Chain A
Amino acid sequence: MTYVIVGAGPAGVVAAETIRKLDPHGKVVIVGDEPEPPYSRMAIPYLLIRNIDEQGTYLRKAPGHFEDSVEVVHGSVASVDSSAKSLRLSDGREMAYDALLVATGSTPILPPVPGIDGERVTTCWTLEDARKIAEGLRPGASVLLIGAGFIGCIILEALVASGANLTVVEMGDRMVPRMLDETCGAMLQDWCREKGVNVMTGAQVESIEHRDDVAAVRISGGREVEAELVISAAGVRANAGFLEGTGIELSGGAVVVDRHMCSSVPGIYAAGDAACGRDFSTGDYSVQAIQPTAVEHGRIAASNMVRHGSVTHQGCINMNVLDTIGLISVSYGQWEGIEGGDSVSLLDRDGYRYISLQFAGDQLIGANTLGITQHIGVLRGLIQGQFRLGHWKSRLMDNPLLIMEAYLAATQGA
């Protein structure tokens, strides 16, 4: 058997390792298009803040970890011939496979704004991007960040710590609208302002004019900010363009997979940001674009690549944790709640603490928290365990901080 994995992110790496274990004699090839060893984008903010060096971002630390067990090929895939079960790299090389995993992740989308292609604009996605940003950061440098979503927020601390003079422009009505509810997002904005970061929400960059030593950024409402560095963090899109012509079903640009992580074309699987996979909470198929989901996808896809049908995906729970200049926010599952469900929230605005819980009947289905870090994972346990909370639901409605107690009551009859 020859297994080809396209993409060297967490999904691809975990898939390769899983296959190696399940099929010690098969040939495993990882095709990655970045020159670096497999690394974690999650770690880039910590690289920017200089807590770690580049090596600290590597997914696997042991020298020869991959080379000893799998074949690593640098290159990008140009096209796939699913009937011939082969793929072609952009440099012309061809490669045959028995099972193919699309774990190509995603790429930042640049907002369609005049001047976005200019020299002073960068995304914050790859190690190469990180190097470029690090170069431009210095005390007093004016920096404009487009997008206060997950990626934008997670690099805020590094930008602030560098002493840069920072402006953030977010299109949505609040920060991290896809992860945090209105209260949470607004509190995060207050927090940022308190830390000296000017965050404009409901605002759009209209144009970027590149002058000699600055970019003049025009923002809706007639404002203009001069920036030496513009970082665009305005969302990502799955990398699945090379699958054109295979007839594979895509949704929003990502590969639609079934519960064995298999695409509409037998033998081709997908995982991670490139896969439109099953959501635990809703049963719908969507791109979660989070690390734990990528890992789960990789593991499950790999099992099915070795023996199709061996593992059925129950769906991943959507969850996120975000550290924005030291304020930690978390989301789980259906944090927006569902129609007909109950919810409870507790707000300590001055103390920057917030928790909101969402219920369906007496089961927890989603949560948002801010400034709460202890035992936070138990929210996952409660949601994914689908525990009937019984009278503990009313106790949680009375005091939503008692999540750990509710969990112990549910699991141990405490």
Chain B
Amino acid sequence: MLRSLNINPDKCTGCLQCEMACSFENEGVFNPAKSRIKVFSFHHEGRFVPYTCTQCDEAWCLHACPVEAIKMNRETGAMEVLDAVCVGCKVCTIACPFGTVNYNQSTGKVIKCDLCGGDPQCAAACPTEAITYVDADATGLDKMRSWAAKTDNATHAN
């Protein structure tokens, strides 16, 4: 069964362990600035919200790519960027309505969460279970995804 990241902001303390784990796994340095998961801080409200790609079914990034540089990993369900193919046109970065595909100026490629090939390091590093990797059906992503339909350019007759 596919698994996906489940994020519960109520449990987040804003420690950024996830960002460090992500950047270390993907870039080899502890560097929140290079993390694919980002914790947003709401100072006035006293709230922290970790946020990354939900590997949405709509896969805006994948469909927007002109050169087939984003593919779905059938084992993990993750949309993965193929660095060797990506030309850096950035169309996926504006097509993703979640804002979770980012251009990396230093490499000239885009980066996004790839679930670390099925062992997401952000979830492993999270000390409070604000980020967990669970069966896709059981996640609380519904809320995030329900509105994704609003971004769809089409309505489907059944």
Binding site for B on A (CB under 8 A): 10, 14, 40, 42-43, 46, 51-52, 56-61, 280, 291-292, 295-296, 299-300, 303, 309-317, 319-321, 323, 326, 328, 330, 332, 373-381, 384-386, 403-405, 407-409, 411-412, 414
The answer to whether A381 touches B98, judged by C-beta atoms less than 8 angstroms apart, is: yes
Separation in Å of the A307 CB from the closest CB of chain B?
9
A308 and B98 CA atoms in complex are apart in Å by 31
Please tell me the size bucket of the interface on B: 35 or more
- Interfacial chain A residues near B143, Cβ < 8 Å: 411-412
The answer to whether B42 touches A375, judged by C-beta atoms less than 8 angstroms apart, is: no
- Interfacial chain A residues near B152, Cβ < 8 Å: 314
A414 and B103 CA atoms in complex are apart in Å by 26
The answer to whether A52 touches B90, judged by C-beta atoms less than 8 angstroms apart, is: no
Given A291-B91, A295-B63, A414-B49, also A405-B42 (CB < 8 A):
yes
A309 and B156 CA atoms in complex are apart in Å by 9
- Interfacial chain B residues near A330, Cβ < 8 Å: 94
Contact of B40 among A40, A51, A59, A414 (CB under 8 A): A414
Separation in Å of the B110 CB from the closest CB of chain A?
9
Residue of A nearest to B97 (CB): A381
Instruction: Flag whether B6 is at the interface (Cβ < 8 A).
Output: no
Separation in Å of the B69 CB from the closest CB of chain A?
9
Given A314-B152, A373-B103, also A414-B97 (CB < 8 A):
no
The answer to whether A61 touches B68, judged by C-beta atoms less than 8 angstroms apart, is: yes
A376 and B60 CA atoms in complex are apart in Å by 14
- Interfacial chain A residues near B89, Cβ < 8 Å: 42-43, 46, 321, 323
Residue of B nearest to A407 (CB): B99
Given A313-B154, A404-B40, also A291-B147 (CB < 8 A):
no
Contact of A296 among B66, B87, B96, B154 (CB under 8 A): B154
Separation in Å of the B25 CB from the closest CB of chain A?
19
Separation in Å of the A180 CB from the closest CB of chain B?
14
A376 and B95 CA atoms in complex are apart in Å by 9
A319 and B93 CA atoms in complex are apart in Å by 11
- Interfacial chain B residues near A309, Cβ < 8 Å: 157
A374 and B98 CA atoms in complex are apart in Å by 11
Binding site for A on B (CB under 8 A): 9, 38, 40, 42, 45, 47, 49, 51, 60, 63-64, 66-68, 85, 87-91, 93-103, 105, 108, 143-144, 147, 150-157
- Interfacial chain A residues near B63, Cβ < 8 Å: 14, 292, 295, 299
Separation in Å of the B1 CB from the closest CB of chain A?
24
A330 and B99 CA atoms in complex are apart in Å by 13
Query: Sorted from nearest, which 4 A-B pairs have the closest CB atoms?
Result: A378-B99, A381-B97, A40-B66, A375-B99
If A311-B157, A408-B42 are given as contacts, then 13 extra A-B residue pairs at C-beta distance below 8 Å, sorted by A number, are A46-B88, A46-B89, A57-B87, A58-B67, A299-B63, A312-B157, A321-B93, A323-B88, A376-B94, A377-B99, A379-B99, A380-B95, A381-B97
A303 and B154 CA atoms in complex are apart in Å by 11
- Interfacial chain A residues near B99, Cβ < 8 Å: 375-379, 381, 403-404, 407
- Interfacial chain A residues near B155, Cβ < 8 Å: 311-312, 314
Separation in Å of the B90 CB from the closest CB of chain A?
5
Separation in Å of the A301 CB from the closest CB of chain B?
11
